[in-house]
Amino acid sequence: MTIAQKLGFDVQQSDHARTAAEREQVLANPGFGQAFTDHMIVIDYTEGQGWHDARLVPYGPLSLDPATSVFHYAQELFEGLKAYRQVNGSIVTFRPYANAARLNRSAVRMAMPELPEEAFVESLEQLVQADRDWVPTTEGHSLYLRPFIIATQVGLGVNYPSRTYSYMVIASPAGSYFTGGITPVSVWLSTEYTRAAPGGTGFAKCGGNYAAAFVAQRQAVENGCDQVVWLDAQKHEYVEEMGGMNLVFVFGDRLVTPALTGTLLPGITRDSILKLAGDLGLQTEERLVSVDEWQAGCESGELTEVFACGTAAVVTPVGSVKGADRAWTIGDGTPGPVTMRVREELVGIQYGSRPDPYGWVHKIC
C-alpha cells in the first residue's frame, strides 16, 4: 500500500460550487492568482503521528488562533506548478515529482516535516480532478497550483519548531503573469537590498524570502521597471535571479545561467531548459555572471538575448536593464529568436503539441 493510499483522501464536495456561468466569467479573464476554484486539499501533521486526515474540502477561509506560530515566525513554505489542458483534451501537470522533491528540500531547511512525494502528487491529482472544469481551454492559459505548508502550533516560544503543521493546496486559473503577455520586461538591479546570503534560505521556497523582497520590487516599479534582479549578498556584483523567476543569458548559441550557489531558487523551468537546450542545438553553462559582463556583453553584441523563466512567467524576454548608476538595452529590446524557440519548445511539451522526450508530462485525467 502506498503512503498516499494509507493517508486516504476524504472527499467532501462543495455545496457552494459556482455555476458554469460564474466559472466561465472568471475563465474569460483570469489574470494571475486572483480567483480560486471550488475545492482545496488539507493534510495535517502531528509530531509522533505523522501526516494524517488527508481531505479534499470546499475552498474557504481558515480559522486559526492569533498565536499560531506561522503568523509570528513565518515557518512556512510553498510550491508552484500548473495543470495544462493539452491539445488532445487530457489534463496534465509538468514534473510534479520535481516540485515534491523541492518542497522537501525547503522543508528540511525550515525544520518542517517532509511530505511523501506520492502524497504530494496524489493531492494535486485529487484537486485537479475535482476542479477539472476550472482548467482553462484558452491557449496559453492554465490552472496554477499552489501547495503550501504552515506551522500551526499555538504559542510564542521560539526554542523549538512547531510540532503541528497543515499542508494545503489551492488552485487558481491563470492567464499571463505579466500583463503585457510576452512583450519584454524591464528589470531593476537591486544594490541596496539583498535577497539571500550564504547559509540562509535562498534555495528554499519559503514565504519569508518573498516578504523581504517586496521593498526592492517596489523600488523597481518606482524606477520604471517591471521586476527586480537580485545580486549576490557580498559584493552586489553577480546576478542571482529575479523576484519570481530565474535568468538565462543568451550568447549566440550558448545559454548561460547563474550557478546554483545556494542563494537562488533551483527553478524547475530553469532545469528543464538546460536539459532541452542540447536538443535545440544550444550549449549550456552554469556559472557566475557579473553585472559588468552583462552590460559589456550587450554593448559588444556578444550577449544577444536575456530571458526570465519560471512556472508563472514561463519564458519571458528581458528587454532593458537599469541600476542606480547605469542603464542599457538588450539587443534591440524586442524578443529574440532563441528566447522564442526555447519558449515554443517548453510550452509545446506542456500543452502536448510537441513530443515529451523526457517523460515530464504527468497525466491527471
Binding site for ligand COI (CB under 6 A): 80, 244, 310-312
The listed partner (ligand COI, ligand PLP, none) that binds 169, CB under 5 to 8 Å by sort, is none
Nearer to ligand COI by Cβ, of 124 and 298: the residue is: 124
Q: Which is nearer to ligand COI, 38 or 79 (CB)?
A: 79
> Count of alpha carbons within 13 Å of 94, Cβ hemisphere only?
30
Residue 30 binds which one of ligand COI, ligand PLP, none, with CB within 5 to 8 A depending on kind? none
Give 80 or 323: the residue with its C-beta nearer to ligand PLP: 80
Nearer to ligand COI, 147 or 319 (CB): 147
Q: Please list every residue from 286 through 345 that binds ligand PLP, using CB under 6 A.
A: 310-311
Q: Which does 241 bind (CB under 5 to 8 A by kind): ligand PLP, ligand COI, none?
A: ligand PLP
Count of residues touching ligand PLP (by CB under 6 A) = 12
Q: What length does the chain have?
A: 365
Q: Smallest distance, Å, CB 175 to ligand PLP?
A: 17
Enumerate residues 231-270 that contact ligand PLP by CB under 6 A: 241, 244-246, 265, 267-270
Nearest approach, Cβ of residue 21 and ligand PLP (Å): 32
Binding residues for ligand PLP, rule: CB under 6 A, are: 80, 241, 244-246, 265, 267-270, 310-311
